[in-house]
Amino acid sequence: MQWLARRYVTILHNHVGPARENSRIFDHETPSREGKALTAPSVELTHVTLRVGARDVLKDVSFAIRPGEFIGVLGPNGSGKTTLMRAILGLLAPREGQLRVFGRPPQRGDFSIGYLPQVRTVLPDLRVRGLDFIASSLHGEHWGLPRLSRADHIMIDETLALVGARELARRPLAEMSGGERQRLLLAQTLIGRPQLLLLDEPLISLDARHQEVAIDVVGRVCRERGTTVLFSAHELNQLIGTLDRVLYLGNGQAVLGTVEEVITTPVLSRLFGIPIHVVRADGHIFVMARGRDVEHVDHQHDHGHGHAHHH
C-alpha cells in the first residue's frame, strides 16, 4: 500500500492496477442548459477503443464534452465507466483511436483534473486529522505536513465550507464513517479549482440527505466555476435537474445526449443488449427489463458484492 497524494488519486486505495454511421456512438449536439458556447472540447474521443485484458470495454466510440458541462455517466456494471475515467487520466492508453483532454493527449498527474476514484479505503490505524490529510495532499507531499501559505489555508477553509465539512475535518480519518470520509474526499477533489472533475460513484456510502448535498455542491461548482464534470452514477433520477447531458455506456457502445434523447427504449435496449422499457412517472424515469428496474437491481448487486474493478 502506497500513499498516493497526487490530485488524480485522492486517498490510500487498493485498486489494482450528427451521428456517424460507422461509429458506435451517437453524440446529440444539443446546446446545454445554459446555452454554453461550443468551444474546444474538455474531453474528446475519436474512434477510440479501450481494452481491459482481452476485452474491448468500449469499441470505436466518438464524442466530445464541452467545457462547463455537467455530464451524468451511466451504464450497467462492466460498461466502462471507470475505464473511461482511467483513460482520461492517462492511466490507460487507447488501443485504437485518439483521446484528447483540453486539446492534448492525456497526461498522468494532470493537476487540472480532480479525480475521486470508486475504490477508496483508509488504514484503520490512520490517526491523521481530516484537515491535515487535505493539507498533506495540497502540493503532492507523500508524508509529513506541509507549510501552508495564508492563501492555502483560505482555500482549504472555503472548500471545506462548500461541502459542509469544517467541523468534520478536525477529527481523525479513522474515526469517520464512510459517508463522512466521502464528504472529505469530495472537498479534497475540489481543492485547487480543477478544470475537470471525474467523480466515480461519489454517492457511495452517503445517506440520502448527503447525496443531495453532494450533487448540489458539484452542480454549483460546475455552474459558478465553469468546471466540466463527469459524474458516474448507477441511477439517473438523482441527477435530473442538475446534469446537462447523459453519457450512457453499454455493450461496448456509448450514447451522449440529453435525457430525452438518450433515455429511450430503442437506445437503452441496444446498450443493455436486452429489451428495455423506459417508464416515466411522477417526474421519475424507470429503466425496466422483465418487470424489474435494472438500474436499481444493478446498484444493489454492486453494493452487495463489493465494487467491481472493471467498470
Query: pLDDT truncated to tens, each residue of the chain (311 aa)?
Result: 333 333 443 333 333 333 333 334 445 554 444 444 447 899 999 999 999 999 999 999 999 999 999 999 999 989 999 999 999 999 999 999 999 999 999 999 898 999 999 865 555 446 888 888 888 777 655 445 567 889 888 999 999 988 889 999 999 988 888 788 888 888 889 988 899 999 999 988 788 888 888 899 999 999 999 999 999 998 899 999 999 999 999 999 999 999 999 999 999 999 999 999 999 998 899 999 988 888 765 555 444 443 333 44
Domain layout of the chain by residue ranges? 25-126+178-186+194-304
CB 167 within 8 A of CB 192: no
User: In terms of Cα–Cα distance, which of 58, 77, 26, 13 is closest to 256?
Assistant: 26
**Alpha carbon distance, N-terminus to C-terminus of the chain:** 22
Torsion of CA 97, 101, 103, 109, to 10 degrees: -120
What 164-168 contacts at long range (C-beta under 8 Å, 24+ apart), as own/partner pairs, is 164/213, 165/130, 168/130
What is the reported pLDDT for 16?
30
CB 215 within 8 A of CB 223: no
Q: What CATH architecture applies to the domain 25-126+178-186+194-304?
A: 3-Layer(aba) Sandwich (3.40)
Burial, 185: exposed, middle or buried (Cβ in 10 Å; 0-12, 13-18, 19+)? buried
Q: Which residues pair with 199 in a beta bridge?
A: 116, 231
What is the reported pLDDT for 261?
97
What is the reported pLDDT for 221?
92
What is the reported pLDDT for 17?
30
Residue with cell 443488449: 273
| Torsion over CA: 224, 227, 230, 232 (sign) | negative
What is the reported pLDDT for 237?
93
What is the reported pLDDT for 134?
86
Residues 35 and 302: their CA atoms lie apart, in Å, by 36
